[in-house]
């Protein structure tokens, strides 16, 4: 894959992600990532030839209780902690717009219920760059 650049997204907490029809997503594909990056108001952000080439993910049901009202929360579905998504694109990742968008995604998180600890992720975790066994 000459001329391609790679980066990974690793979930550090469950991610509750919905599409435009409010259906729960079980995977972050190129369209979902593009939609997540649009939330940061960076004009004209386009990642050329963005493609999901590998992922390992599982889904879990999120339940809970609203203590204030004494009622159960709505059951939601989240992509599980530790899920990894490997993307490739034809643009160099030193492009400042792409870097800024990915930085904001990592800093602010994604999806629903971020204030409760959901949606934390890491872009190109150092773990994925190690080549020697410990």
pLDDT of 1 > 80? The answer is no
Please tell me which residue, 117 or 43, carries the higher pLDDT value: 117
Does 15 fall in a domain? no
Segments forming the whole domain that contains residue 123:
5-9+32-129
pLDDT of 127 > 70? The answer is no
Does 69 fall in a domain? yes
Does 17 fall in a domain? no
Does 27 fall in a domain? no
What's the pLDDT at 32? 93
Average pLDDT over residues 83-108: 85
Does 23 fall in a domain? no
What is the per-residue pLDDT across 25-80, written as a single tens digit (0 to 9) for each?
A: 999 999 999 888 887 766 667 788 899 999 999 999 999 888 888 899 899 999 99
Average pLDDT over residues 112-125: 92
CA distances from 9 to 38, 54, 94, 115 (A): 17, 11, 17, 20
Does 24 fall in a domain? no
What's the pLDDT at 126? 75
Tokens representing 102? 């990915």
Does 39 fall in a domain? yes
* Residue 26 contacts residue 79 (beta carbons within 8 Å): yes
Instruction: Please report, for the domain that includes residue 77, its CATH number.
Output: 3.30.70.1900
Provide the whole-model pTM.
0.85
Does 36 fall in a domain? yes
Tokens representing 56? 């390992």
How many domains, the chain? 1
């Amino acid at each position: 894959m000459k001329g391609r650049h790679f980066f990974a997204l690793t979930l550090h907490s469950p991610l509750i992600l919905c599409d435009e029809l409010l259906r729960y997503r079980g995977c972050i594909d190129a369209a979902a990532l593009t939609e997540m990056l649009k939330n940061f108001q960076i004009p004209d952000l386009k990642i050329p030839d963005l493609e999901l080439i590998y992922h390992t993910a599982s889904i879990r049901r999120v339940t809970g209780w609203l203590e204030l009202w004494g009622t159960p929360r709505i059951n939601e579905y989240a992509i599980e902690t530790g899920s990894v998504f490997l993307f490739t694109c034809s643009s160099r990742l030193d492009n400042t717009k792409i870097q800024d968008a990915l930085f904001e995604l990592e800093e602010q998180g994604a999806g629903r219920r971020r204030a409760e600890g959901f949606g934390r992720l890491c872009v190109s975790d150092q773990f994925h760059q190690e080549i020697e066994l410990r």
